[in-house]
Amino acid sequence: MAIIPTNKLTPGMVLKSAVNDITGRLLLGEGVEICRKHITIFKSWGVTEVDIEGDAEGGDVQEDVVIQVDEETLYKAKKEIQELFVFNDLNNSPVTEEIFRLSVQNKIDRLHGV
């Protein structure tokens, strides 16, 4: 058993216990293998950590993969996504900030064909 921050989750991990949002609504049941979509949903609903099977110290948690993105691509992606968030306060809402970050990452992934 290992409690893992959502930003350290990787596809393929298996939930040791169910994941609920801050209101108690079930997002994903125990024993389910996590995919990228699940990680996005957890972050979008304010889930900060989950309980996974295995041991974080034993190597089940993979190192972060760093994808190099040139400054121009990052600038274009952020600018395009900011237009969609024009009526949102990105500085005072951690949830909105995370959705913005994920949106930018998704845009970059689509630009790179991931």
For residue range 13-58, list pLDDT tens digits in order.
999 999 998 788 899 999 999 999 999 999 888 888 899 988 654 4
Answer whether residue 63 is part of any domain: no
Give the domain CATH number at 44: 3.90.105.10
What's the confidence (pLDDT) of residue 63? 44
What's the confidence (pLDDT) of residue 14? 94
8, 53: one domain: yes
What's the confidence (pLDDT) of residue 65? 46
Q: Based on the structure, what is the number of domains in the chain?
A: 2
Answer whether residue 65 is part of any domain: no
pLDDT interval class at 114 (50, 70, 90): low
Answer whether residue 64 is part of any domain: no
Which residue is it, tokens 């951690």? 94
> Across-strand partners of 4?
50
pLDDT interval class at 99 (50, 70, 90): confident
Answer whether residue 33 is part of any domain: yes
Does 25 or 112 have the greater pLDDT score? 25
Answer whether residue 37 is part of any domain: yes
Answer whether residue 86 is part of any domain: yes
Rg (CA), the chain: 16
- How many CA atoms lie less than 13 Å away from 53 in the CB half-sphere? 13
C-alpha 89/C-alpha 85 separation (Å) is: 8
C-alpha 112/C-alpha 114 separation (Å) is: 6
80, 45: one domain: no
Expressed as residue numbers, the domain containing 107 is: 71-111
In this prediction, residues 64-83 reach a mean pLDDT of 79
